[in-house]
A and B are shown apart, each in its own frame.
Chain A
Amino acid sequence: MATSEISLDSIFSEALEIESPQQREAYLDQACRNDDKLRQQVQRLLDAHFRVGNFLGGPAVGDTMDVAPIVERPGMTVGRYKLLQQIGEGGFGVVFMAEQQAPVTRKVALKVIKPGMDTSEVIARFEAERQALALMDHPHIAAIYDGGATESGRPYFVMELVHGIPITEYCEQGELAPRERLELFQTVCQAVQHAHQKGIIHRDLKPSNILVTLHDGEPVVKVIDFGIAKATNQRLTERTLFTRFGGMVGTPLYMSPEQAELSGLDVDIRTDVYALGVLLYELLTGTTPFEKDRLQKAAFDEVRRIIREEDPPRPSVRLSTLASQSRGLKGPGKQSKPSRPNVSSDLDWIVMKAIEKDRKRRYATSREFEMDLQRYLEEKPIVARPPSMLYSLNKFARRHRVRIAVGCLVASLLVICGLWLNTIYTARTDAQFAQRVAELREKLAAGDLPGAEQAFEALGRSPHSHNPAVAAGGIQLATTLANSGQLEKSHAVIDRVRSEWTINQLKTLPDSDTKQLYSML
């Protein structure tokens, strides 16, 4: 093994220990000193590491080696908790209903995280946020009680037991009216706002983490899993989402564009606002902004691109597309879902503001989001607005930079060509005009009065008809006509000269012509 390989190895491992991208950069600068090549190599490996997903996540043949099944079973004891029954299973792990025995006896939910994550790291991150989590006290947030490692070395979390169903399912099953959905959603916003005020970002808001239970027949929202996404460090890159080369396990449907970025991950409360926006979209239309099928089929980088760049249709547009699709597929009267009323344009803009790609353009807090919904419900003017024409144009221009550049180039070429053609045309008509004026004078000199009259007529229709030279020709024609006794024709010509040429134009005529004109009046 070459020496460079050793330092590459140790710098790489050291850099991975550092969580903050800025500190990592600083470390790399210091560790690689002036060795640009080494620095490049480390960077290449780090980039690969963050993109690695579940590459080599399983053996070439047979089952995934690390996924030893979770051995915890009902009847076993984990810490102070006795497992009673399994109540859920997902990509993350297994949830049990458990009984806490000390210091108080109560039933709790105990979540054992699946293998694939470093237990000590998970627990360290959980411990770091534990104090903040303990400060959360809200009727719509499931309390987090405890966390630790099981005997088999898996991280686990203990939280308030919630018997509920995902909010989307609840709304569908109960066929809730839009107003009821919005009101229920508002309580979700309030819960999330409370957590944000305590400095906790959820990072993984999705219907399966927002449960609805019935208390005396009234729906009560409970947001679960606060603090868990951070502890388990779930990212788009991690194997929570992908198996092997591309099969997706988790869901990127509620993932914000900034989470879809691979490096320099900085997540703030607006990430939760985004996820809430996606949830509202789903509550109103029955589908997420990006369709599940599409994201599931797309390759890893394509998923990231869609989340970061594509603008989803507004809820009302999606609804009308869905309506026409279901008409086409099922025929009239066979719709499986209750028809949803139209989404008003105000609601459209509220949802679209929450799921803006650029988080600066989203609602800054979930409270703002909730207040705007309240204004909508009270039929007051809302804050969210359709994007201004200028903004849309700007975005359009950014998307189609190359096309617009080419278009501009073509347009300016066209203008240049036009000007050039015009110059040629003008030069040609100028030459023709001079020729016609000369013809008029020749005919007059030759005494060919009908010919001169024709030539004057023709000049009157040319683009240069207002040229004083035409007027001068006219005056001479009128004089000649008068001299030859054709007074009527002479007056007609003089009248035309007087009506078509302004005094100012006539002033530019030679004195002899003007005198003649006045003498004729």
Chain B
Amino acid sequence: MLIQIAWRNLLASPINLIIGGLILAGTFLFVVVGGLLDSLNDAMARSVVGSVAGHIQLYSSKSKDELALYGGMGGDQDLSAVTEFPRIKQTLEQLDNVKEVVPMGSSGALITAGNIVDVTLERLRNLYKAREGQLDDPRLRDLSREELDARITATRRHVRQIIRVLEADQKKAQAILQAEAIDPEVVAAVERVSKDAFWHDFEKDTWGSLEFLENKIAPQVTDAQLMFLRYLGTDLDRFQESFDRMQIVDGTKVPKGQRGFLIAKLMYEDQMKLKNARRLDKLKDARANGRLIATDDELKRFVKENRAQTRDLVLQLDDLKTAEATKRLQGYLQSTEGDLTALLSAFFDTTDANLEDRHRFFYEQLAPLVELYRVRIGDTLTIKAFSKGGAIQAVNVRVYGTFAFTGLEKSPLAGGTSLMDLMSFRDLYGYLTADKKEELAQLQRDTGARAVNRENAEDALFGEGNTVVAEATPGIIDEDKTFTGAGRRLREDDLVKRVYTEAEINGGVVLNAAVMLKDASRLSETLATINATASAQQLEIKAVSWQQASGILGQVINFFRGVLILAVLFIFGIAMVIINNAMMMATIQRTQTIGTMRAIGAQRSLILTMVLTESGVLGMIFGGVGILLGSAAMAWLHAKGIPAPNDVAYFFFSGPRLLPELSTTNLVVALVIIFLVTLLSTLFPAVIATRISPLRAMQADE
């Protein structure tokens, strides 16, 4: 009966529709946005856990900063080295839910490959050194004298072609610049090396000729590019087993236990590929996504840059390849233009109509003549980085291939870090072992220099009692006695081929480690167990969840969740005020009815239950509709998927599309919220209604 009364009253007042609408909107919002955020959280967890963090991260408890895998507010964090990794790994892998502990350490380096002339001259120098038996390079070792001669001839031709390009540049500069703006020394240098006589006599003083080119000609070309390379040093075998989304794209994985480098595919494409080719790829991708060169400013810029910046390409070609490229372009463009730069500029004038065909022509006809990537698979990459102590350390690593994480191929966050073996990482990190520390301390003791503070330096150095001038005794410095041969270059081949045991890989310092769990749903419990074990066994490590280890990135979802809660609170807060006022008005309007009901024997509890039931039915009907609409919207979104709007969103969506899932928890929470909101907002009017006396109802009638 009460429900019938409630239903009749619900339909009687239009204000109920407004109240119901608010409840519906709030519930819909909560179900849909809450579901989206949950799905985003899950997707991001898959991205972070599956690409670098694992479920839990470990780092030294002595570290000054907190671990932030994707960088903190102040750049790289200051993490102390974990020196007892084998004991930590052994202890934690015995815990119930721990599947694997993978050692890590990350850092970054600026790679300066030099300009195209530097690179070509270095190649020529190495070829001559190999011919003289001064270089034991595994890539050149098996070549016969004739093969080396042939390579030397080809490389010399390439250098001469570069000089021709420089000479042409110089002539153009002389035509447009004032005489004083041109350095006569540079003009003379280019003139000297462009003559046949220089090349005829080249091998009379090979090293002198090379140094002339390196010091006088190479600085004239300013195309050297700086590449920032972020890398993660890890046990590559364990990493690939534990992070199963990682896939080799080009080349092979690093052989088990060996040194090596895997470049993140996205980084390889963005930073190491010939810029003209990369822009053509981007134009093609954009066209496939429906963007038009004719109307899109970014695509117009790509075309403009491709037309203007052809120098990298031109300088890569020797005379034979220049002639071949010119011939092919003349044929394609139906042109009689003889200048390759002009032909390339015309070729790169791509439009929506010709892009597809020019992209095909470029890869079929021009790409085979050039090096598309600055670093090729199989090359040795020299990485120079600042060590822990601030000095520069360098290592040579062989590039075995490129890799990407499935679904995150376009994500700059997942595709911005390359992988390096842990032994090379440690060489770059420059951790001071006890032996090295003692060597430095001995050097300091032998020198016996006194310490001088900045504050009193002037008094200490120039105050009374100090004399500045002294007669020196001539010294005899015999460097042959000074050098022990410790700096002898380690044979690249030995390092490349050496297979390190698991004990050697785990044995040195690491900066952090990823813990993979058997059951990810028990993360919090396992985290607490690891921290308790670390404390009890004095492992001097701190364990944090993947979310905490992600730094600011891990807090993004929490931020949006906070915004959602505030929005829902705001909507339901307004709903509560409106429901309260509406119910008060409705109660006053129904004074006579309620008075009459009281007069014929209705108890106060009946009146209270009646009013609460009315608002309960209102809430449940409109809230229910909100939940149903929200569920339908989620089902639609799940079926259709939300495409990632940009490359950054790939990471948050864990792939090209987010497929939101309806969360049961959100439905239950939505129902609880509706119940509480309607109860709280109706309670006061309901109590007022119970206080209406029959006498007052009759007086109101009179």
Same complex:
no
